[in-house]
Amino acid sequence: MPRLPALFAALPPSVLAKRLGTYLAGCVVFAAGATLFIHSDLGTDPLDVLALGLKEHMPITIGVAQAAIAAVCIAVWSLWNRRRPVVAPFVTFFLCGSLIDLMLLADLSWMASVPSLTAAVLLCAYGSALIIMSGVGIRAMDLIVITMTHRWKWPFWLAKAGIEAVLLGLGCLLGGPVGVGTLCFLVFVDGLIQPFMALNRRVLRLTNHGLAEAPAPPGQVRVSA
């Protein structure tokens, strides 16, 4: 994934606007799904299970724990691909977090737990698909998943579920909370991202900049629309 300044400089304005629009839409949709996961009160995603587990043993906030996990993922991705570390995933982290804080101010008392969880699964999966397809600000964990699909030829859903399962296992060992929502995230969100990407290609004619093609060599940027 190219660094953001290189991306801005190399792409035609129309292509850049389309990719940034896809990215921002993905962040909004993902944040809406994460908000409904919280509202459902039926369990959180594997990343938060690990973050909450770490919080049980260290004097840190959930946000700091999540940022530390993201930093580890970026370091692994950087070493594995022999690329410089990227900062764009942290932009996504703080943008989505801020959107979730704003959305939690809304009155969602009219929405029951099970419908909230169902909508949360669909929104988180679709938002993740848009962010990945934009090729901008891909989440740190997903950078590793994409590398696994390119290098090991694993299906995206299998690589994604494998990484999430590792986070969930570590979180459980540390005492993080697990609920039915956690299992729904692991099975359905991870399983729906790739079908949603295929749907976007066919219906919206979106190019998959994040997953469909092998990563561009350092210093080069793909400019397909």
pLDDT, mean over the chain: 86
Per-residue pLDDT tens over the stretch 81-114: 999 888 889 888 888 888 988 998 999 989 999 9
pLDDT band at 78, cuts 50/70/90?
very high
Residue 162 has pLDDT above 50, yes or no: yes
3-state secondary structure the chain: CCCHHHHHHHCCHHHHHHHHHHHHHHHHHHHHHHHHHHHHCCCCCHHHHHHHHHHHHCCCCHHHHHHHHHHHHHHHHHHHHCCCCCCHHHHHHHHHHHHHHHHCCCCCCCCCHHHHHHHHHHHHHHHHHHHHHHCCCCCHHHHHHHHHHHHHCCCHHHHHHHHHHHHHHHHHHCCCCCCHHHHHHHHHHHHHHHHHHHHHHHHHCCCCCCCCCCCCCCCCCCCCC
What is residue 216's predicted lDDT score, i.e. its pLDDT?
A: 44
Per-residue pLDDT tens over the stretch 206-223: 999 888 644 443 333 343
